[in-house]
Structure 1
């Protein structure tokens, strides 16, 4: 592995033998093995293969960064792919995973996207287009006097979500998210992934039980992104109840990943 970021490595296999590792890339406000928003619920998958849970720069145990940037994160992911890995990304981490897969598709054995924030790859969808018009027309909402604790509270309460405990680790992740490069600046070369024949799985919640404001402003555009990427990449789309699939329904997500990885030709 050639990278400066921290990686949590889980490997609970009882026997020997080679198995292709799976590399996970997290969203905002979180880190790799976070039980609240991260991939703690995917630990049972380590019975089959090693899991590499990357902490993006400024998150978890990775070093600080002046500004989190999906392009830099994508380079970090490439440095962690080794001789090849299954790649999984959630939210903004899904955009990072897409960018990394486009750069080195030869090292990506498969690509699984959990509600990726790849809005710029789905601009032909009406709700996505409306969201992009709205956010691009806004002035920056993070003021000099905004604290991570206040930002965390307002970001969750404003859409009807519970506020996570404001631990120092959480607040550091929020502070990094406040400075993160806007995801709508990402230019995602889908053709490089499609042309390389990388198998793709897209996981998306149905959002029926989400708070109304969260569903309207976030969920419905994310559903359009999932559907658009499924069409563009010839992916398999798995829908399941809820709005945070890998934490709300970890057993279902894990089953979908196991089945997906098991069907990748020529890869253990």
Structure 2
């Protein structure tokens, strides 16, 4: 558990069950009850007391497990926690059924306020990148630095490979897709997701593939799985259409925290060409482009990302805040 404890009324430690979510070596899971939502939080015991907190937010269809490769590489720098957004991973759906970007951002803010962990080093991937951008814009007091991996920010020309995901937002499409893919095995589904999200699917180890299949089987058994996917996809599409001060690009311009942007050259969901626009939008940004990476660079190239994050801290003078002499790699 992190060095910053939740009030006991909010935190309940849980022992992971064999049939439940996978927990990597050194990780712990706990459930956190907040008004209207219950969140599952994955954490690592901090290397020592006093490290600044970090929070990781996954993307559409993902979970806190997406950060398990990166978190141990930052053990000497930060006190890491990753959460399952409402309806994803091991977190049940929210009471209000709100899966908009704003709804997810509200869940992150509620957690940080209740845990009194802010300001944090905030990480976000894809949908989690859009969510984290909104959090950093509306609550700058909660964010020390911002690291965005292929953030789902509005694009005028969406890549063709991203269209099927966007179509999930349309009423009835999720049910149609469920019927169409009824005979697909978990292995087939994982192969499809891996081919879509990785720059090189061959990087996935046999053990990693087996773990992903087990997780896919678990999720498909949840009665709300497709509803959450469809509503969250709709939330992204709706966020793309918002203008004015609520538009994500406008909010990106309002972010004060030093920002690390990570884009993959083989990303089939968020276009590589958006990297330069993002670098211009975030006022205090650094850009890391990985030509061979896909949509989940923190899973594909965790060592490179850990190095880039350390450089972000050194560049902004925040490395001294950690009292760290080096990140474990």
TM-score, normalised to structure 2's length?
0.64
Aligned to 1:50: 79
Deviation at residue 25 of structure 1 after TM alignment: 0.3
Match among 281, 293, 299 for residue 242 of structure 1: 293
CA distance 1:8–1:158, change in 2 (3 Å): closer
SS in structure 2 at match of 1:263: helix
1:28 lines up with 2:60 in the alignment? yes
1:75 lines up with 2:127 in the alignment? no
1:103 lines up with 2:138 in the alignment? yes
Conserved 8 A contact 2:129-2:152: yes
SS in structure 1 at match of 2:129: helix
Conserved 8 A contact 1:206-1:242: yes
Conserved 8 A contact 2:60-2:233: no
SS in structure 2 at match of 1:41: coil
Unaligned runs of 5+ in 1: 208-214
Match among 37, 40, 64 for residue 6 of structure 1: 40
The CA deviation string for residues 84-105 of structure 1, in whole angstroms up to 9 with x for no partner, is: 1011000111111111111101
The CA deviation string for residues 34-75 of structure 1, in whole angstroms up to 9 with x for no partner, is: 2xxx11101221232211101000112212244533211101
The CA deviation string for residues 211-243 of structure 1, in whole angstroms up to 9 with x for no partner, is: xxxx5xx35x52123321111113211012221
The structure having more radius of gyration, on CA atoms, is 2
> Matches of 2:105 and 2:166 in 1, distance apart?
23
Query: Which aligned runs of 4 or more in structure 1 are off by greater than 6 angstroms?
Result: none
The CA deviation string for residues 171-192 of structure 1, in whole angstroms up to 9 with x for no partner, is: 5485332332421211434445
Conserved 8 A contact 1:204-1:226: yes
Unaligned runs of 5+ in 2: 1-5, 11-33, 202-208, 323-329
Aligned to 2:312: 260
SS in structure 2 at match of 1:27: coil
Deviation at residue 158 of structure 1 after TM alignment: 8.8
> Matches of 2:193 and 2:78 in 1, distance apart?
39
Conserved 8 A contact 1:29-1:174: no
Aligned to 1:198: 257
1:229 lines up with 2:282 in the alignment? no
Aligned to 1:212: none
CA distance 1:49–1:155, change in 2 (3 Å): closer
- Cα-Cα RMSD: 3.5
SS in structure 1 at match of 2:118: coil
The total of aligned residue pairs comes to 247
SS in structure 1 at match of 2:108: helix
TM-score, normalised to structure 1's length?
0.76
SS in structure 2 at match of 1:254: helix
